[in-house]
Amino acid sequence: MSLQAPKDMAAERDAAKFDIEKLAHYWAGGEERYKHLQRAFKFMASDPELVMQPPRNILDTTRPEIREFTMGQIHRYAKVLQDPLYKNDSDFKEALFQALAMYSESFSMRIGVHTALFKNVLNMLGSDAQREQWLDDIENFRVIGCFAMTELGHSSALRDIETRATYDMATDEFVIESPSITATKWWIGMAGKTATHTMVIAQTYINGKHYGHNWFVVQLRDRETGELMPNIVAGDIGAKVGRSGLDNGWIQFRNVRTPRTNMMSRWVSLSRQGEYTPAPSPVVMYATLIPERIMLTVNCVGMVTQALTIATRYGVVRRQGHKNEQIMDYLSHYGKLVPAVAFMYMTHSACMTVNEQFKVLTAGGDMDPMTYLNHVGDMHAISACFKGYVGWFGSDILETCRRCCGGHAYSAYNAIGSLIDDWGVLTTGGGDNVVMLQQTTRILLHRLEQKLDMDEYPELQFKSSTHYFTKAKEYVAWSNWTVTNVEDCLKDLTLVEDALHCILLNSISNELKTGSTHNDLLLDEARAAELHGAAYMFSDAVSKFGSVNHADPALDKGVAGIMHRLTALWGVHVLHTFSDQGYKEGVLSPAQIKAIEKLYLKLCKELRYQVVGLTDAFGYPDFVLKAPIGKYDGDIYEPYFETVLNAPSSTGKPPYHAKYIQPLTTQGGK
């Protein structure tokens, strides 16, 4: 077995019909970025402050240990940023950040609240003067920030937030107050023990009048002593399911005072005399939530690709069954793992597109409010359904990976358990997924109501995710999918697009007709949004890889070829997954559905021998994956056994032998 496994692994790599390294370059965002990432991996691998060195195992630590280690990583990372050797090497600094985030979800989220949340709100909602005041301190960690939105009694419903900010004109300050226990800010990353400052969202009252939400910087701790500031009560939230290295915390504000100038004022302003000028639209105040959702989606991709790499590698070296097959040869393995891998390539590609679109729209915070307002609904729709759809499907895939590793995923040392535990926050945090998906569908319904009677749909400058709505009337009139030989789809992927759009538009137009409440349609609405997201990914990939000949000429031919095959598989997968909806709407017949299923399983089987190459290209070194059963070389059993032997007190008598065992086993018997 031990000899066979590495041979099996090598044979899988040989079977790849593309250059694995070239695909790895593509995945990393180009050969240059790939090389910087490799440099970063090499740099950190032997650094004991960045990567836990054997025999210590980061998958087997106590809460105090991992909290300290994670803050140590940030400390060390901050020092590297300031090191003259790297200070001006922004490629390396970015790569190191990425590499560390891959290695530790606790690091990723601990530093994420500081940069992607705290700093990003300042960047997008703060005035130039405010940015000038704070940015340098933030970037150098003289100020360590957190993001206080969620409250104990209120999560996704911002409207119900209880924390109040009342303007006191006498002192030119806001008074921040938590009026009840349910108003306690809760889950706030880094608030538990670390953050010196927080960006808090609160209901704003000026001269007794309510002006909705605003964002305020409030100091939490003394930068010298680390003690809490007066009238701040805060603490650590204790044991969580995952990300134990992050000090999630709670905060109560007992009439804390913060200067008027600490209210974020890019879009709103408040004069010394209490004259309040609101934002052009309240929508701009939540602009940071869109990149947060994309960031969470990208985080999902990072975690799921690690689990897939582990499960795939184990699947090709584990042998079992009547003919001692590689377990990957079972349909229950490849039929689940292959489409999951395709999904990751699709999500990765679509997130790049959406990120690009968002950058165009916001111009790094300097966006034109009107352009932004015209298109933000569309960005909201696509980012929300990505977060929901990828979050849910990703959960399923992690569970699939767990089951594909059999009992060995139950060992903490094979990493999948900790990925699942760390994952938890992604499906409920950053906007509950049900709510996210429902919001997307409401936008779709609204768009459909607006446009169904239009003969033409004006070309948008901004590329809308609902572009296919221009053909809504046609699709709804169509009603059934006319393809009789489903294999034709492989020659023309737009046939699949047609089917998906036809199913979606029929189902939401039928929803409009029922006259039922949104609540009665809630599950249908969530599903429609999932289909919108899945279909968007497909269309995005069709435009990039749909025709091998017309793909980006900069793309390697082998890479273009495999991406084309993954795109085709993805389209058929989505069609298969939503075929029940198609049947209910009268779009698909049982014969078509059976043919789709057959084609789908055939495409999965054809890609069975590509899985190792495809997951290799995600580019994770063994020390990032951490799982002995997911080792690159396939030689898994001895290192796994060694990991177990390295565990604290893995052998010898337990300390409780004399107290609890011996008294039983030495009782006088018959």
485 part of the interface to a second copy, by CB under 8 A = no
Find the binding residues for a second copy in span 44-63 (CB under 8 A).
57, 59-60, 62
- Residue number with CB closer to a second copy (255 or 662): 662
Find the binding residues for a second copy in span 593-652 (CB under 8 A).
593-594, 597, 601, 637-638, 640-641, 643-645, 647-651
Q: How far is the CB of 30 from a second copy (least distance, A)?
A: 33
- Residue number with CB closer to a second copy (180 or 482): 180
Q: How far is the CB of 44 from a second copy (least distance, A)?
A: 17
Q: Is the peptide bond before 628 cis (omega within 30 degrees of 0)?
A: no
Going from the C-alpha of 507 to that of each of 486, 542, 548, the distances in angstroms are 22, 23, 32
Count how many residues are written for the chain.
670
- For residues 260 and 77, the answer to whether their CB atoms sit within 8 Å is no
Which residues, 6 or more positions from 294, have their beta carbon under 8 angstroms from its beta carbon?
351, 354, 355, 358, 383, 386, 387
**338 vs 611: CA distance, rounded Å:** 7
Q: Which member of 66, 99, 113, 434 binds a second copy (CB under 8 A)?
A: 434
**Residue whose entry in the numeric block shows the structure tokens 């805060």:** 234
Q: How far is the CB of 338 from a second copy (least distance, A)?
A: 13
- For residues 489 and 572, the answer to whether their CB atoms sit within 8 Å is yes
1 part of the interface to a second copy, by CB under 8 A = yes
Q: Give the angle subtended at the CA of 391 by the CAs of 390 and 396, to the nearest 5°.
A: 90
The DSSP bridge pattern shows strands 256-259 and 269-270 to be unpaired
- Residue number with CB closer to a second copy (458 or 590): 590
Q: What character string, x for contact with a second copy (CB under 8 A) and - otherwise, covers 152-191?
A: xxxxxx-xx-------------------xxx-x-xx----
Reported as type and span, the H/E element at residue 234 is strand 232-236
- Residue number with CB closer to a second copy (67 or 119): 67
Find the binding residues for a second copy in span 220-279 (CB under 8 A).
223-224, 226-227, 234-242, 247, 250
Dihedral pair phi/psi, residue 199, rounded to 5°: -100, 110
The reply to whether 347 sits in an annotated binding site is no
Q: What is the dihedral of CA 179, 181, 182, 187, to 10 degrees?
A: 110
Q: What character string, x for contact with a second copy (CB under 8 A) and - otherwise, covers 12-41?
A: ------------------------------
Q: How far is the CB of 311 from a second copy (least distance, A)?
A: 12
Find the binding residues for a second copy in span 530-589 (CB under 8 A).
579-580, 583-586
Q: What character string, x for contact with a second copy (CB under 8 A) and - otherwise, covers 326-365?
A: ---xxxx--x------------------------------
**446 vs 438: CA distance, rounded Å:** 12
**261 vs 129: CA distance, rounded Å:** 9
Q: How far is the CB of 182 from a second copy (least distance, A)?
A: 5
Buried b (16+ CB within 10 A) or exposed e, 110-139: bbbbbebbbbbbbbbbbbeebbeebeeebe
460 part of the interface to a second copy, by CB under 8 A = no
Q: What character string, x for contact with a second copy (CB under 8 A) and - otherwise, covers 122-151?
A: --------------xx--xxxxx-----x-
In the chain the first and final C-alpha atoms are separated, in Å, by: 47
653 part of the interface to a second copy, by CB under 8 A = yes
417 part of the interface to a second copy, by CB under 8 A = yes
**Residue whose entry in the numeric block shows the structure tokens 């929901």:** 388
Find the binding residues for a second copy in span 74-113 (CB under 8 A).
74-75, 78
Q: How far is the CB of 300 from a second copy (least distance, A)?
A: 15
The reply to whether 189 sits in an annotated binding site is yes
Numbered residues of the known binding site for FAD: 150, 189
